[in-house]
Amino acid sequence: MAAPRALEEREPTSRELSTGRWARARARGAPRAGRRRRSPWRRLVVIAAIAGPGLIAANAGNDAGGIATYASAGSQYGYRTLFVMLLITVGLVVVQEMSARLGAITGKGLAALIREEFSIRLAFLAVAALLIANLGTAVSEFAGIGAAFQLFGVPPYVTVPVAAAVIWVLVLFGTYRYAERVFLLLSLAFLTYPVAAAFGHVDWKVAGIDTVVPHLSAAQGFVLFVVALIGTTISPYMQLYNAAAVVDRGIGPEEYPAERIDTVAGAIFADVISWFIIVATAAAIGGHGALASAAEAARALRPVAGPAAEILFGLGLLGASALAAAVVPLSTSYALAEAVGVERSVSRRFREAPLFLGLFTAQIVIGAAVALVPVNLIHLLVGTQVVEGVVTPVTLAFIFVLANRRSVLGRHVNGPVFKVVAGLTVAVCGAMSLVLVVTTLLGWL
């Protein structure tokens, strides 16, 4: 039999192919000769390198507002919101899958489909609601970047403008695909939350029970937090970005099975981290009331990082905020460009897609400028997620109707079980938003 090295240098004979000797020789020789053990860091790099729109969109939800909301839920309500997170995770998987399927099968983004299947007015209604919510979210992302650097002793008025300029350059000059992997790797610092929970004083029995048994409250504060959890986990920009990115990357019906795995796995992975953020924070400072600063949120990482907890939290907050600071404005730009039917792609130059890149630029400038206004960071972050939660049902209703239309998806429409789960997701999100609006109005009156 030929040596392993020779296997790489010559073509197999017909006898070797017919008897299977060639395949067996390669299995025994060549792979083993060239196999190298990958370090854990290299594995993370490989995972980030192949990350698709589903993983990126879902993890963009674990941004500055998401971290603040999850940590505040653990600090203020302990483990009581874990059951809500279980339901939200199911909803996130369903919604993200529908948005990715719509993009892959039709080759069009959500705003374009809304314009074609409903009307231009409804398309602009959806985009207007998204623009209002996303502009506030963009502000919170740059505020998160400023807060991250502030943990390292660098003032926001220096770091926020620089960060805005860097993100703008990365997107406009075609290197964003590489940069988003770097941001994703930085945000993996939040993988330390499961470790922090393992080393912390978590009451696992109570956490497990509260995950599967509801402990809800009709109090306005609790309802507000539930809506904020929905808004930060099932954010409209995530669905619009997911569908648009699937189209932008040329993922079609043939590639969709792999993209479906990416989408579902990304949603579950993101919410597992969210679950551990609530658990770790509840164990560290649960019952102390609402958070007041990013430094307080970092205390949950002390069991694993000790004095370096703030540095570790700052790195994660920086990566998560930077990733979302690009994804959120891009999702708005995709939506508006699709609604009016003009060019939209991060691979285009400014003169080729002026509306798309111009709107992206405007959001970056406004988001960074407003983020420099002194305000309580935690209140800003949680407040923007509440706005997202109120807007979310509008986007979800469009996605649900589109995913049930055979004229749009043909044989790829929602199945009976999927249709029921998706319908319940939209109904529950809408009901919670309505309850919050009604209770708020009654409180004013």
Following DSSP, what letter does each residue of 286-322 receive, concatenated?
TTS-S--SHHHHHGGGHHHHGGGHHHHHHHHHHHHHH
Residue 52: the pLDDT is 67
Q: What is the pLDDT of residues 4-19, one digit of tens each?
A: 444 444 445 444 444 4
- Estimate to the nearest angstrom the gap between the alpha carbon of 212 and the chain centroid: 24
- DSSP 3-state of 222: helix
- Report if pTM > 0.85: no
The residue extents of the domains of the chain are 1-35, 41-444
**For residues 102 and 87, what is the distance between their CA atoms, to the nearest angstrom?**
23
User: Of the ranges 53-57, 90-94, 256-260, 287-291, which is most confident?
Assistant: 90-94
pLDDT-derived band at 262 (thresholds 50, 70, 90) equals confident
Q: What is the pLDDT of residues 334-388, one digit of tens each?
A: 878 877 777 777 667 777 888 888 888 999 999 999 888 887 777 777 777 787 7
Tell me how many degrees the CA angle 347-352-358 measures, rounded to the nearest 5.
85
Given a contact cutoff of 8 angstroms between Cβ atoms, the answer to whether 284 and 73 are in contact is no
Task: Give CATH superfamily name and number for 41-444.
Answer: Amino acid/polyamine transporter I (1.20.1740.10)
